[in-house]
Chains A and B, each alone.
Chain A
Amino acid sequence: MDILYNIFIDPFVQMGNAPDFLLQVLWSGFVGGTLYSLIALGFVLIFKASGVFNFAQGIMVVFAALTLVGLYNLGLPAWLALIATIGVMALLAIGVERVVLRKLVNQPDIILFMATIGLTYFLIGLGESIFGGEPKKMITEELGLPSGSTSFEPFGGLVIIEHLDVAAVVMAIVLVTGLAIFFNKTRIGRALRAVADDHQAALSVGISLNQIWAIVWFAAGIVALATGIMWGAKSDVSFALQIVALKALPVLIIGGFTSIPGAIIGGLIIGFGEKLFEIYWGSLLGSGVEGWFAYVIALIFLLFRPQGLFGEKIIERI
């Protein structure tokens, strides 16, 4: 009987007794979810263009953030370091297209996936040899990102809103909206969808596969930079950041690998879900449920809707 009470009654009693804390949890879930969406977006862009899960997206986050901090530490002003980092990500995109992807046109997806694993280890080695293994401080203030917090006292309690979190949410919304418009309303967006459907067919109608891939990898690089700045500001910039990117996998399973709105909704489901579950039900399972909760949700989706909420249902003839 106790167990039923602890599962079905007590969490809601807690929510009712401390509504300010519930608001804090929901805000935290919203911020977390937005950041997950941002990470997932990088994966979606590349998956849409090449049908491959880009294993290197996590290390691209680290590489972009380290480049930014490294250039700033070399003496460049923050704004110039930011522009130069965007340039580096553009060069990386062109390099990946020229050296890796161009040779693999029309190869099975698994070959492209393996290539991204190879790229991951290359970037880890390159990053470590250039920047070293020590964590770096993100240049939050220098980039003009806000610090500090604002406290509210709803229901006689306390809710703390970090200004940096607000900036993260705004940045994510602007990026997601911008990219959604770019890829849905422009010729490049339509070309991208054609490339995703069939490389050879896209080539036959005159779409430059090389150009599309370079553009998409560059866009994923920009997303990686934004992700690196926001996550780096929350902790530090180190190679451990690449692990955070793994959280995108359940987001993609829920939202669908090819859908930008799916990445947003999936991220928010995970963000809200894991915070609420950890805080109100986590103690029943010994805490630390956040580490696996997202994957359980993803597994449930795989059972009932394997293509995700907004993914394309693929029917193949056998």
Chain B
Amino acid sequence: MKKLLMTGVALATLAGAALTTAQMAQAEDSLYVPSLSYRTGPFASGGVPIANGYADYLNMLNERDGGIGGVKVVVEECETGYNAQKGVECYESTKGKGALVYNPYSTGITLQLIPKAPVDKIPVLSMGYGLSAVAVGEKFPWTFNYPTSYWGQMTAILKHIDANGGLKGKKIGYIYLDAGYGTEPIPLLDKLATDMGFTVAKFPVGVKEMQNQGSQWLNVRKERPDWMIMWGWGAMNATAVKEAAKIKFPLDKFIGNWWAGSHADMRAVGEEGKGYTAANFSGVGKDFPAVQDVIKYVVDAGKSQIDNKDHVGDVLYNRGLFNAVIVAEAIKVAQEKTGKKVITGEDMRMGLENFDLSEARLKELGLEGFGAPIKGSCADHEGGGAVYLMQWDGSDWKKLTDPIVPMQDIVRPLLEQAADDYLKDKPNWETQKCS
């Protein structure tokens, strides 16, 4: 018995050693990028296309260019189900494999990872979601939210409303997923309402009520807002647009944020949702050389998880792809600046503060006009990106506006205040000085 036990222990040790060696070897000759995805659960409608776009672009670089700087990128997915606890488990189980960056695709998970990033020296890129205050790079050296924060996005939407009939004296309805994600821009909205002379009526939608919004929309009818803004996700979006149409709310005055305007949601609504408007910051469609390369090297080669080739180029597929572009650019810059082929999380952080996705660079990448230029910097972790609005025509999204630059003069001081508030009870928080 003792001999058997000893043999078991020896085998387990050997297996552990072999695994550790394999992981180290993987970390030494590749660029390890974990993908915290959610292909299951109530939010899978958004999680699936994002995960596909993200993985497909990086795999395209592997197939077409042999990776980044000659080093292959390893994308490993971990299923979070959009659950913060599972997200942290995924983080803990992958960080030791040489993870370069985390893209949690959930504000709840991002909030959990923000304090972990400086400890483990692995940056978090919450692209267009998460805590808005991380845009202040001096206070949050390890977290980024390119191309703009939720607060920046909200001001861009308000600018559009202001340009189409004015804001003063108007009532803005705000319908939102009653979770960290949906409540995030409320402090800004309340502040701007006071400053700019409009009123806000809020309509929270609990996760359990996502597909049962009858009461919220009866309240909308009662309150009679001039415009509606939505911070929705998953099944909430299609239901909200259907309910808005049902009470005959003018859909061209109903604006979703960039997570409330996807093909997946609106295909289920169809013609009924005609006129519904949503924000976006990444290109739509396949007419970009880089997207064509993804189709050629990955999708047609059967190396993608996408189940319908027609869905390449969808809003959220391209969003995931754009996220991968930023990651790839940051890796490239980090390689150039350090002279190393295989970089670390710390190098990646530096890359994220120094990449320059200019118009010229976007064109070089085969993504001309795909999104507004973004420039990484030490002080500004949201990169000063712009937002445009698109409109559902019954079967597809069509561009409605030119890029709208957020009200940075208003947002930045509020973000700095929010960053200070976040750090108030964290005396040992690591900050940085930016020249």
- Interface 0/1 of A229-245, CB less than 8 Å to B: 00100111111110110
New A-B pairs, 9, CB < 8 Å, besides A135-B235, A282-B215, A291-B209: A28-B214, A128-B40, A133-B41, A134-B48, A236-B268, A238-B44, A238-B234, A240-B211, A288-B205
Report if B386 contacts A (CB, 8 A).
no
Whether a CB of chain A sits under 8 angstroms from the CB of B264 is yes
- B42 near A239 with CB under 8 A, answer yes
User: Is the Cβ of B41 less than 8 Å from the Cβ of A239?
Assistant: yes
A234 to B205, CA, bound (A): 16
In the complex the two chains form, is A274's CB within 8 Å of B215's CB? yes
Shortest Cβ distance from residue A254 to the other chain B in the assembled complex, whole angstroms: 18
Contact pick for A21, options B215, B221, B238, CB 8 Å: B221
Measured between C-beta atoms, what is the minimum distance from A17 to chain B in Å?
A: 11
Chain B residues with CB under 8 Å of A133's CB are: 39-41, 44-45, 47-48
Number of A-B contacts defined by CB within 8 Å? 124
Of A160, A237, A240, A275, which contacts B234 at CB under 8 A?
A: A240
- Residues from chain B with a CB closer than 8 A to the CB of A24 are 218, 221
Given A135-B265, A240-B211, check contact A21 B222 (CB 8 Å). Answer: yes
Q: Which residues of A contact B296 (CB under 8 A)?
A: none
A28 to B235 CA separation, bound complex (whole angstroms): 20
Question: In the assembled complex, which residues on chain B have CB atoms less than 8 Å from the CB atom of A21?
Answer: 221-222
CB-CB under 8 A from B211, the residues of chain A are 231, 234-236, 240-241, 243-244
Considering the complex of A and B, which 9 residue pairs feature the smallest CB-CB distances, nearest first?
A133-B44, A236-B268, A240-B42, A240-B235, A235-B239, A291-B206, A288-B204, A278-B215, A235-B211
Which of the candidate stretches B9-17, B95-103, B241-249, B338-346 sits at the interface with the other chain? B241-249
Asked if A135 meets B246 with Cβ closer than 8 Å, knowing A124-B40, A236-B268, A274-B215, the reply is no
Whether A10 sits at the interface, judged by CB under 8 Å, is no
Query: Which A residues, 158 to 181, have Cβ-Cβ distances below 8 Å to chain B?
Result: 160, 162
**Shortest beta-carbon distance from B278 to chain A in Å:** 16
**Majority secondary structure of chain A interface residues (helix, strand, loop or mixed):** helix
Nearest CB to that of A290 among chain B residues? B215
Residue in B closest to A147 when the chains form the complex, CB atoms: B272
Cβ of B212 within 8 Å of any chain A Cβ, yes or no, is: yes
B40 touches A236 (CB 8 A): no
For B267, give the chain A residue with the smallest CB separation: A137
| Residue from the list B207, B208, B242, B264 in contact with A134, Cβ < 8 A | B264
Q: Are B44 and A278 in contact (CB under 8 A)?
A: no
Task: Decide: A135 near B45, CB < 8 A? Known: A274-B215, A282-B219.
Answer: yes
A28 to chain B, nearest CB (A): 5
For A237, what are the chain B residues with a Cβ–Cβ distance below 8 Å?
Answer: 268
How many chain B residues have a CB neighbour from A under 8 Å?
A: 44
Report Cα–Cα, A25/B49, bound state, in Å.
Answer: 38
Complex Cα distance, B161 from A227, in Å, reads: 39
Shortest Cβ distance from B346 into chain A, in angstroms? Answer: 35
Given contacts A137-B268, A149-B246, A231-B211, contact A239 B218 (CB under 8 A): no
Q: A160-B248, A287-B204, A291-B206 known; A128 and B44 CB under 8 Å?
A: yes
Is residue A299 contacting chain B, with contact meaning CB distance below 8 A? no
**Is B307 part of the contact surface with A, judged by Cβ < 8 Å?**
yes
A275's partner among B40, B45, B218, B307 (CB-CB below 8 A) is B218
In the complex, what residue of chain B is closest to A236 when comparing beta carbons?
A: B268
Q: Taking the nearest CB of chain A, how far is it from the CB of B202, in angstroms?
A: 6
A32's closest neighbor in chain B, by CB? B214
Q: Considering only CB atoms, which chain B residue lies closest to A29 in the complex?
A: B214
- Please report the C-alpha to C-alpha distance between residue A275 and residue B216 in the assembled complex, in whole angstroms: 9
- Nearest-neighbor residue (CB-CB) of B217 within chain A: A28
Say yes or no for A16: interface residue by CB 8 A criterion.
no
Task: Report Cα–Cα, A244/B235, bound state, in Å.
Answer: 12
Is B178's CB within 8 Å of the partner chain A?
yes
List chain A residues, Cβ under 8 A from B307: 132
Residue A136 CB within 8 A of the other chain = yes
Given A287-B203, A288-B204, residue A132 in contact with residue B268 (CB < 8 A): no
CB within 8 A of B218: which of A28, A234, A236, A247? A28
State the CA gap A234–B217 with chains docked (Å): 13
A-B contact pairs, 9 of them (CB 8 A): A28-B214, A133-B39, A133-B48, A134-B49, A160-B247, A238-B235, A243-B208, A246-B208, A288-B206
A279 contacts the other chain (CB 8 A): yes
When distances are taken between beta carbons in the complex, the residues of chain A under 8 Å from B49 are 134
Q: Which of A115-132 touch B at CB < 8 Å?
A: 124, 128, 132
User: In the complex, what distance in Å separates the CA atom of A241 from the CA atom of B210?
Assistant: 9
A128: which B residues are within 8 A, CB to CB? Answer: 39-40, 44
Checking B47, B221, B246, B268 against A136 with a beta-carbon cut-off of 8 angstroms, the contacting residue is B268
Q: Which residues of chain A in 132-162 are interfacial with respect to chain B, using CB atoms and an 8 Å cutoff? A: 132-138, 149, 160, 162
A237 to chain B, nearest CB (A): 8
**A238 proximity list for chain B (CB < 8 A):** 42, 44-45, 234-235
Q: Are B39 and A287 within 8 A (Cβ)?
A: no
Q: Is the CB of B268 within 8 A of A32?
A: no
CA distance A282 to B219 in the complex (A): 9
B221 and A236 within 8 A (CB)? no
B275 at the interface (CB under 8 A from A): no
Query: Roughly how many angstroms separate A231 CA and B270 CA in the complex, as a whole number?
Result: 17
Q: Which residues of B contact A32 (CB under 8 A)?
A: 212, 214
Query: Which among B43, B47, B211 has the highest number of chain A CB atoms within 10 Å?
Result: B211
Inter-chain contact B44/A134, CB cutoff 8 Å: yes
Closest to A271 in B: B214
Write out the residue numbers on chain B whose beta carbons fall within 8 Å of the beta carbon of A135: 45, 235, 238, 264-265, 267-268
Q: Which of A134, A241, A278 contacts B219 (CB 8 A)?
A: A278
